[in-house]
Amino acid sequence: MTIQTKHFGELNIDEGKIITFPEGIPGFPDYKKYIFIFDEEDENSPFCWLQSIDDGSIAFALINPLKICPDYSPKVDNELIESLGEFNENELIVYAIVVVPEDITQMTANLKAPIIINSQTKIGMQVIAQNEEYEVKHKIFNDLQEYTSAKEGV
């Protein structure tokens, strides 16, 4: 199938790669089907996108939280993510949603409420972690700079 998107033009969707969010995402309860978009020109980019299939104008920028918070480990009750279907922990994919305001140095990632996806069942949800130390608006510009320069130093 093909969909029209606001940011990525016309996309050819491999239906086997569709991720279902049975409850939607808070603020967007009616949009339940998404697809990952990775930057093909730049596969080392720390960002990827979660594009809604139901509405081509809706896309979330995501970041692998380990790239900004190396010991990131959200605490979530297992019962809460039961709807993802059976999983081993290493089959779970965890991302943080990124917000980029006009001033990019103020960009933030939501470490309090990660997106968790079961790569086996292709079911996802946004959960609220119990960790008190994780913020909804975690500033990431400096973290990213540190991460990048650390990599360059290797």
Partner 1 sequence: MLALTRKKDESIIIGDQIEITILDIQGDKVKLGIQAPKNIAIYRKEIFLEIKEENKAAVQSSINQIKELGKIFKK
Site of interaction with partner 1 (CB under 8 A):
7-8, 25-28, 39, 42, 44-47, 49, 57-61, 67, 77, 79-80, 82-83, 97-101, 104, 107, 110, 112-113, 126-128, 136-137, 144-145, 147-148, 151
Task: Give the integer Cα–Cα distance in Å for 49 and 34.
Answer: 10
Task: Give the integer Cα–Cα distance in Å for 110 and 108.
Answer: 7
Nearer to partner 1, 53 or 61 (CB): 61
Nearer to partner 1, 10 or 15 (CB): 10
Task: Give the integer Cα–Cα distance in Å for 147 and 144.
Answer: 5
Spatial CA neighbour of 87 closest among 117, 57, 51: 117
Min dist CB 134 to partner 1, Å, is 11
The amino acid sitting at 132 is: E
Min dist CB 136 to partner 1, Å, is 5
- The two beta strands, 108-109 and 138-139, are antiparallel
Min dist CB 15 to partner 1, Å, is 23
